[in-house]
Amino acid sequence: MAARRVWIAGHKGMVGSAITRLLEGRGETVMKVDRSVVDLRNQIAVEVWLKQNRPDAIVFAAAKVGGIYANDTYPADFIYDNLAIETNIIHSAHVAGVDRLVFLGSSCIYPKFAPQPITEDALLTGPLEPTNEWYAVAKIAGIKLCQAYRKQYGRRYISVMPCNLYGPNDNFDLQTSHVLPALIRKFHEAKQAGKPEVVVWGTGTPLREFLHVDDLARGVVFCLDNYDGYEHINCGAGSEVTIRELAETVQRAVGFSGRLVFDTTKPDGTPRKLMDSSRLRELGWAPTIPLEKGVADAYQWFLKREKAPDRSVVEAVG
Ligand code: GDP
């Protein structure tokens, strides 16, 4: 165990960097490769690198990710990049003889109107949410790839489905980010500029489940060490808030005293996506960071980044 070498694919993204921090903190050897060296969409590059470096395990945190606007606007990029990255890494891992892999998916794999809270067996039981179906289809393919290589070759490849995430190294670009980092930035900039209001997209009524990425990292490493099932497994906070409540939480953390305005010309996306994570909880993982505290910490991280912007962080989404 002490000698295990784990390749974190996507180590500069929010998820990959959190898992890297956790594993390195435990004294484990983390392998990293920059996108300037290996473009994960390039099959030959991935296959050659994996054969030469042959990690003991792979944590698959690389993906093209984005919020509702980016998903809706760049469907080809979201489906192509993610399918390419997945087929390249999972197939090449098998070819290189890597027997252990944890694939990271998303709660958007589930049907738009899945019964709530969403259990793992809701997969492929109904139509997807149209704003991010391209990304969702690619992530479903990732789960199926893991299952196929397990079924045909006995590979110990597993899949973990996180809910909406936030934390250090998030993407704060307003066009491509998810809601939580977008709101941190919007409230911060409105406060700085003394503006009277902040615009929140949609009606404010959709419900979302937010998990701090450090809690997810512990869940992923827990699964790496303890879970070896054919089925994907949910990893969520277990509680949900409306987008309005989230906006009010961010508003308090930032200390903005103006008002909220809802832009209903922007899409709401799926009305609700609360996952049932009881399988993982029964195995022994539980989240530890309450939303109010997590958001306050995320704002502090944003403030430090404002002072010393790190381009590599901004570019390394996923
Ligand atoms: P989703 O969970 O896949 O829908 O992704 P997002 O995190 O991008 O959006 C979640 C919800 O927050 C949607 O209902 C958005 O319309 C809403 N939202 C409100 N304001 C914003 C914003 O400034 N940016 C984003 N990305 N979403 C926002």
pTM of the model: 0.95
Atom of ligand 1 nearest to the CA of 269: 4
Q: Is 158 in the pocket of ligand 1 (CB under 6 A)?
A: no
Nearest CA to ligand 1 atom 10: 179
Q: Cα(65) to centroid of ligand 1, in Å?
A: 13
Integer Cα distance of 81 and 91 in angstroms: 15
The answer to whether 162 and 105 are in contact (CB under 8 A) is: yes
pLDDT of residue 307: 72
Integer Cα distance of 105 and 139 in angstroms: 5
Segments of the chain scoring below 70 in pLDDT: 1-2, 308-318
pLDDT of the residue at 308: 62
Kindly give the distance from the C-alpha atom of residue 24 to the centroid of ligand 1, in angstroms, as a whole number: 32
Per-residue pLDDT at 306: 76
Q: Give CA angle at 81 (77, 84), nearest 5°.
A: 145
* pLDDT tens digits for range 199-230: 999 999 999 999 999 999 999 999 999 999 99
- Taking a C-beta distance cutoff of 8 angstroms, is the pair 219, 160 a contact? yes
φ and ψ at 262, to 5 degrees? -100, 125
- Of 277, 239, 274, give the one whose Cα is nearest residue 110: 274
d(CA 255, CA 252): 5
